[in-house]
């Protein structure tokens, strides 16, 4: 579907054609007043049918969007470099081709059927227009041969007869124009439906220096749009500024959702989040997000230079190469960066000349360097959501130990399943069903013998068994 912005381009094309056709009709009125009436009627019939036929075709395609997406996914999967190895090893090439062929044909058959159904009508409309235009040209030619009009006038009137055809034209540009106007209506509806805070009309207070004391979740309620269950139903939690906090819990407990709310990727459905006593919704969103350096488990792999991949953490300081290198050093990324084909200018994508790809652990260090660069540029909250999932236990422990040193004084929130990481945090909270059920240091929670102690003992026993197996 065309966008509302693109509709402006198609609107210009459509009106240019209409003005051309109308000008031709005006010229023909001077020749025979009844001739433009007949031609206009024929073009109106042509336009109406063509518009209906194009719209019917489009509706058939839209009804099969899911099938077309599946076919397109299979096609892209067959040519993507990251899947090439497994496709080769498992011999999936022929299977993918056949699945793509079957999916595409099954989806397009109704479209082709609609095209065939409209064929006879299209032929009839075309013949009607040919007859009308031929008759009109014949009238002009006879007037010229009878010396009723001069040769120059006959040429002008003949060209006008042909130019009237612009009124009956309906093609892809017209279809995109209508789709663009539909998109504009949707955008207008969304403009009225989107909350004030999302549009940036609320929240004007500055975020400079925040947080200084505490970030507080007060009776927070939240559920994702389209879901019928709450993630949080009265969450209370204090995050002390300048301390390291680890959040643990089973899958679905709300750990990542808590981080998203803190970064204001979503707004709470009830209750509130305050920063030093100020409701987060009253703080200017972009300014607050510049104070939060967040790295999620599914962080982005940007196909740009390694320097830019790190500097994206704080674009305002992107030209500070020394700070970028310092962040890479603290994240343990400097050694492999300097070994890349073009060093800091190496594009991290093999599709580019002299480009390179990184291992999962190397990509994770780049992402962590991006967060550290943001902290060095002024971010006051560092959020690490499963930050070291691609690293082994020793590498993770070493990396987190460095983090404790380089982020001292920064409000650090770590979400992790590995207790070798979370045990070093100054404070640990356990989430269960959207609520804090345990809160304390590692030693305190282990002595309490609750959920944290049970999860820690279970994971420690698995590592012990793995160690015995290696011995």
**Among 402, 409, 408, 321, residue whose Cα is nearest residue 368:** 402
Query: What CA–CA distance (Å, rounded) separates 35 from 285?
Result: 64
- The mean of the pLDDT values for the chain is 85
Chain segment 27-45, per-residue pLDDT in tens? 999 898 898 888 888 888 8
- The token pair at 218 is 């007060």
Cis peptide before 413 (omega within 30 of 0): no
Query: What CA–CA distance (Å, rounded) separates 331 from 403?
Result: 8
pLDDT value, residue 284: 92
pLDDT value, residue 15: 77
Of the ranges 156-165, 211-220, 288-297, the best mean pLDDT one: 211-220
pLDDT greater than 50 at residue 471: no
How does residue 86 score in pLDDT terms, banded at 50, 70 and 90? confident
pLDDT greater than 60 at residue 466: no
Give phi and psi for 274, each to the nearest 5: -115, 150
pTM of the model: 0.67
Query: What CA–CA distance (Å, rounded) separates 365 from 374?
Result: 14
pLDDT value, residue 76: 86
pLDDT value, residue 59: 76
Q: Check if the beta carbon of residue 219 is closer than 8 Å to that of residue 271.
A: yes
pLDDT value, residue 407: 79
Chain segment 388-441, per-residue pLDDT in tens? 666 677 777 666 666 666 777 789 999 887 787 788 889 999 999 999 999 999
Chain segment 303-347, per-residue pLDDT in tens? 999 999 999 999 999 999 999 999 999 888 999 999 999 999 999
């Amino acid at each position: 579907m065309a966008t509302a912005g693109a509709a402006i381009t198609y609107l210009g094309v459509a009106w240019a054609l209409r003005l051309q056709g109308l000008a031709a009709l005006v010229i023909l009125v001077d020749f025979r007043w009844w001739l433009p009436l007949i031609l206009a009627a024929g073009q109106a019939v042509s336009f109406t049918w063509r518009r209906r036929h194009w719209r019917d075709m489009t509706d058939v395609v839209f009804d099969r969007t899911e099938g077309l997406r599946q076919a397109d996914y299979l096609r892209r999967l067959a040519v993507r470099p990251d899947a090439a190895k497994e496709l080769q090893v498992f011999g999936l090439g022929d299977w993918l081709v056949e699945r793509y062929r079957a999916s595409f044909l099954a989806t397009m058959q109704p479209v082709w059927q609609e095209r065939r159904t409209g064929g006879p009508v299209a032929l009839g409309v075309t013949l009607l227009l040919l007859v009308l235009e031929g008759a009109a040209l014949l009238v002009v030619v006879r007037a010229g041969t009878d010396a009723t009009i001069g040769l120059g006038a006959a040429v002008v009137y003949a060209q006008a007869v042909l130019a009237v055809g612009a009124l009956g034209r309906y093609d892809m540009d017209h279809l995109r124009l209508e789709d663009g106007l539909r998109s504009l209506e949707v955008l207008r509806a969304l403009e009225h439906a989107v909350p004030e805070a999302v549009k940036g009309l609320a929240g004007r207070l500055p975020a400079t220096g925040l947080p200084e004391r505490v970030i507080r979740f007060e009776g927070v309620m939240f559920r994702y749009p389209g879901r019928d269950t709450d993630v949080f139903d009265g969450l209370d939690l204090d995050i002390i500024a300048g301390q390291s906090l680890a959040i643990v819990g089973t899958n679905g407990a709300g750990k990542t959702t808590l981080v998203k709310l803190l970064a204001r990727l979503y707004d709470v459905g009830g209750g509130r989040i305050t920063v030093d006593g100020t409701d987060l919704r009253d703080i200017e969103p972009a300014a607050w997000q510049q104070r939060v350096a967040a790295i999620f488990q599914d962080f982005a792999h940007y196909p740009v230079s390694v320097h830019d991949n790190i500097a994206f953490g704080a674009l305002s300081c992107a030209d500070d190469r020394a700070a970028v290198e310092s962040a890479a050093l603290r994240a343990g990324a400097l050694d492999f960066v300097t070994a890349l084909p073009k060093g800091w200018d190496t594009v991290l994508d093999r599709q580019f000349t002299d480009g390179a790809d990184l291992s999962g652990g190397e990509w994770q260090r780049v992402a962590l360097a991006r967060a550290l660069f943001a902290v060095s540029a002024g971010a006051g909250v560092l959020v690490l959501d499963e930050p070291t999932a691609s690293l082994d236990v020793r590498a993770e422990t070493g990396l987190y130990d460095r983090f404790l040193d380089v982020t001292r004084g920064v409000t650090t929130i770590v979400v992790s399943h590995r207790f070798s990481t979370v045990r070093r945090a100054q404070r640990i909270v356990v989430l269960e069903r959207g609520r804090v059920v345990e809160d304390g240091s590692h030693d305190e929670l282990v002595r309490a013998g609750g959920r944290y102690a049970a999860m820690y003992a279970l994971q420690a026993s698995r590592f012990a068994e793995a160690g015995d197996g290696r011995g």
